[in-house]
Structure 1
């Protein structure tokens, strides 16, 4: 197994008992002014997430929904590794690295209204670590099991610290019944290791199955965290968004309703937190899952 050259501050994929540990890093990394006000930063720091109302206009929602449909019907793209299908059907589950296949999405992902928030919270220049559109179709969109994104990015991508966050932008209304994002507020302040070695090419399994075999905290820890922190659903109209810390425990139920729950998902990482060798995997995941074309902090 590849051994990372940098100190491992968050050991995971352990053998035996997983022991949660307090997070040693902040979630808001500086005090620079930016788009978020003091109260918003306080909420994000305390809860690990922040809802952004009316991020997109109705016209923008229509534009991005049209582009999402186009990507899901592109034969060349459908034949590529960037596309992940639902576990029980041939319907599209996710399309990754959308800034490489869509100028429309690239413009949004690199826009100041998103990048300036990332620069403010992470107190540095930033880059896109991962992007995708999720389709979550009606009558069968599969669940995403409870997990911390940072646990995966640390173990399989070599991200040293949780100096990253995600933005999920709704392109359809998030109802309680169509599989909206669920979070455990405040869990971003505790790192919960998972048990078991990372299988070779594990991303081919973990991205498609409802309950991956490795990478999710065990039921004992999930139960304790839920009892301590509670569970909240993030519902809201198309055009709203939620930003959440890379270490926040989150997941979503399956979609048995007729109504799709589609979104744009972007991960912003600090250029001072770039990827190295995986901490608990034989090889890094592919480029379309973990961007290694990051800028030098000295060149910004």
Structure 2
């Protein structure tokens, strides 16, 4: 395996990531690349929703629920590698591989991919028995989920396809919580969530960034996001990177 090129992160950025658990790289990707992602994300959304409405059958790749108003709400589609050409280009691109290799300290590979929509959708969904939930994403970490899948260290990377402002439901993080054993409680439909005691609202940092920006965080970091009240899309491509099998010492 060839060595990666120069890293787009500095030593100081790596130190901040180790201390805080996240890194923001504004406008890393061109708007041309972002527009391709937007087109593919919307086309995939429309195709899968239309197929579900026609077959009256739930596609396991789609995570959605109903709001208290009765409207269907699309949260995410996962996985998306192999379903959208632009995802392969971005996920395997030199920029993200260099970032994740630098943050992990070893060669990385993609182990998860998803489009995050956080969007009310107009689709015939009367046939679907959906839980009724809100639009916010509650405080949580992804570490336990990844550990059950056999991954001890994962860097999550969000490519912002739209401007991420506070009103659009930008990512919120709790710096340094990736180095703590945070208290969590179980919920019926949203898995384990982190308690207010473990991560008080007052300690949150909202990551407002322009389209084309990349946000990377340690999967152990507590994160969340509020509802999108901006009236415009807030789409993300979220990728999980782990050390390669060779780096982990796995046998073929």
Q: How does 1:22-33 map to 2 (within 5 A)?
A: none
- Please name the residue that 2:167 is paired with: 177
Given the alignment, which residue of 141, 145, 154 partners 1:164?
154
- Please name the residue that 1:132 is paired with: 114
- Please name the residue that 1:264 is paired with: 237
Question: SS at 1:220's partner residue?
Answer: coil
- Please name the residue that 1:118 is paired with: 100
CA offset digits 1:160-210 (Å, max 9, x no partner):
x3x2111111111111111110011111111225355x9xxxxxx64xxxx
CA offset digits 1:220-242 (Å, max 9, x no partner):
2233xx56xx2110111111111
Question: SS at 2:166's partner residue?
Answer: coil
Given the alignment, which residue of 95, 101, 107 partners 2:89?
107
CA offset digits 1:54-94 (Å, max 9, x no partner):
11112112111111110111147655211111442334221
- Please name the residue that 2:146 is paired with: 153
Q: How many residues align?
A: 228
CA root-mean-square deviation: 2.9
Distance in 2 separating the partners of 1:77 and 1:106: 23
Distance in 2 separating the partners of 1:96 and 1:111: 20
Distance in 2 separating the partners of 1:186 and 1:115: 24
CA offset digits 1:96-142 (Å, max 9, x no partner):
11112122211211112111221222122322221101112269981
Q: Does 1:72 align with 2:45?
A: yes
Distance in 1 separating the partners of 2:233 and 2:85: 24
Distance in 1 separating the partners of 2:84 and 2:30: 19
Given the alignment, which residue of 209, 230, 239 partners 1:236?
209
How far the C-alpha of 1:296 sits from its partner, in A, is 7.2
- Which structure has more relative contact order (CA 8 Å, sep 6+)? It is 1
Judging changes above 3 Å, is the alpha-carbon distance between structure 1 residues 147 and 77 closer, same or farther for their aligned structure 2 residues? Answer: farther
Distance in 1 separating the partners of 2:175 and 2:119: 27
How far the C-alpha of 1:247 sits from its partner, in A, is 0.7
How far the C-alpha of 1:267 sits from its partner, in A, is 0.7
Question: SS at 2:76's partner residue?
Answer: strand
Distance in 2 separating the partners of 1:100 and 1:142: 28
Given the alignment, which residue of 218, 222, 225 partners 2:199?
222
Question: SS at 1:64's partner residue?
Answer: helix
- Please name the residue that 1:188 is paired with: 178
